[in-house]
Structure 1
Amino acid sequence: MNQTTSDDNFWEYSARANFYFLPPSDTYVKELKDVFPIVIMAVPFMLVLTVLEWAILTLAGKARNWSIHDVIVNFSTGSLTQVVTSSFLRGIEFSGYLWVYSNLRITTLPWDSIYTYMMAVVGVDFCSYFWHRTCHEMSLGWSFHYLHHSSEYLNMSVGARVSWVMRIFKWMFYLPMAALGLPPPVFLIHSQLGFAWGIWSHNDACPKLHKIIPGIGHLIEYILVTPSHHRVHHGVNPYCIDKNYGQLFIVWDRMFGTFVEEREDEEITYGTMSQINSNHIFDIQVRPTIEMLQRAASMPTFGDKLKAIFYGPGWAPGTPRLGNPEDIPDDVTLWEQRVNLVLHLLTSTSVGGLYDGRKYSVWLEPLRLLCYLVSVLALPIFSTLQETTIVVCVCLVSLLMWPRVSAITLSRAAEVSTTAPAPKKVN
């Protein structure tokens, strides 16, 4: 594909790149300098699909499955990752591939061959499967990958919610392709196309394909990753944990025993089993890794310290490598999510009223504290007993201090009312 064609048919190219619909001839690139930034070119169409998904969910009465603040965080995170990768990490991670290809490859595959194309499509995705599986089955990998799963929604924008920290070790999983002689430009193209396909599979609006494409839909779902498959992967329901790792092909999951079908009788809850209460795009990138290292440092023996890093994130001394399946908590039901949302709204409204000297905060703040106390004790809002104890203590102390805070708030409200400018008369 030449530059002129790219400029004239940008939207067409963007759409086809999102769905791996490029003919083999468009992937035949000899020099690295001629490799197109396919992921960047796919972004405009991805934005269109994100808005379209919102419209479909709204019309279907499922607008609660889509949040504008979450979309902003997702794209902001993706932008940060792209800047860091382009500025610092791309050269580092790709240098490893180039070195293995130049010094250790066992053969040389032609860059313009249909056989090389087929090997790239299958081989790159095969490596992606094991990279993705490692991210979930090793604490170190999960600390890098946690960010992507921390969204409590699933829509197209979540595909952009990726961590730059993860890029530090992801490249290692593709070195076998360099050793097999896959030319670096061809590898770069297919790794981008696979990533672009994975973006659209983050989708809560598309039903199972066999429902909208009878016959062939079943075949597609048997071979390729679809939104239905990936919804399971992002779920925290017990049956969803550590399933459906495929990026392009779902057959790897079928082959290696990690596939599970989306259930019709159970709504999927998205997120992680231990949510970080933060939307700061830097904090959610690095805090999981810091907490993982702190957990490893707290282990009593050197062997347990290593296991805390290289075993599964659910591992604890005396349990299997991937943790005890019985320790997986039941998924948070929809009404519990709504209680959490109400608590956040109460907090934002009450605290804002306190700062502004609003009289309504005099009764709203103690109500909020009481609601928080009941909810924290009755629901699994916080993951540990220590966190729950701290919140309970803060709420109790705040209630004890409330008479004094109430007096200050009423005094501030009086000052605001006396200093407020009188309304102008209109002649």
Structure 2
Amino acid sequence: MEKGDDAVFVALRENGTYISLVEKWKRSDLLELRSHELFYCPACQSKVQLKAGLKKTHHFAHLKGVECTVKTEPESEYHLEGKRQLFQWFQAQGYDVKLEPFLPEISQRPDLLVTTPYTRFAIEYQCSQLDYSLFKKRSHSYKTEGIVPIWILGAKWFKRVSTHSVKLSPFQWLFATSFNQPVHPSILYYCPDTSTFVKLSNLQPFTTAEAFCSMYFYKEKEISFSELLNPDNRIFTLHPIWARKKQKWRASYSFYNSTQLSSFLTTLYQNRIPPAHLPGEVGLPVRSGYWFHTPSMIWQMWILLDLLLRLRKGDPFFFSSIMEVISNRIASKEIEIRQLPLVFHTQYSLAVEEYLHVLVKAGNLKKMSKTKYEKIKDFTIPTSLDEASMMDEKMLASVGKHEEIGLVHPNIGRDLSEG
């Protein structure tokens, strides 16, 4: 398929009806059809070519030099085959599913539109890079029409590091989705070569590029749409591997380079704190930590450096003071917040609140009221790597297991089970 080929499966015939190439057509029949009939784009009404190759997937494409009014990305064979399989997967479950329908009210053309008695879902299968502003615009447009956007990444983006960790670029993080449910987000992938879904849940970043998570692999014939969207209620015990990762960070922090590291290291040296000897109370996992692109070893230490280390035992402070620290560091670009346009039920302040809760549980702080805290124990700066590692183990053990428990949104659950 040529670069820039805006391949689609559906076109308008001269008689006003639609023709779909998603089913297996004989090439001879398509060549015969092409010899005496014209086809048009449902979105911009311009002529499109019917391409019936010997090796490549049959598809329609705009004429050379013609740009459709609906912005799309070039589609590969991999993308077309994945879209075909997803369409047939929904059909097999009895859903009302339309392939590449044009939605004139928002001038968009999702890969699939799934309609149930209560909700419409726009299914976007994304295999190529997409600009953030366009991604956000498309998602927002669907929401304004009461359509739930479900973005699925091509599995070629999936980069596994270990049993419990993956590499995630800022682009992949855009796809973290709460699926319109008040639960923590997941990322979906689909591989047409193996007909397999990959679902990442309980996302917990350690560095800017690597995140711990629960990973699930489902053959498309073995899972339904409702099961795919259901939240992960299984317990994910993170602390043992998190402790090992912290130990590695302490020993080789310079390899975990980030745009915020230089300023951070300068401030540590000014405070006579070796980077390898950060207190055990920083670099802790919190349930909503996915909001921070900046590693937890850094954003949590800024809270200590800018406020908590300066307080004496018995000094009170307010949550607003902590948020002011975070806001100032965001403004100076020393802390960076992730862009998560598909996560609707939380915000980064929740991750900060969860971190303070961990410090309360660890005995460093006492919560006086909903917004007021008191420092009741000093933070200890370790004097060696061995002491730091022991402090990490003790701290992680004291705050208990890291669990991710979600709830199914009642409308979504009813919708899919009855749809």
TM-score under structure 2 length normalisation: 0.23
Structure showing greater relative contact order (alpha-carbon pairs closer than 8 Å, 6 or more residues apart): 1
Query: Where is the strand percentage greater, Structure 1 or Structure 2?
Result: 2
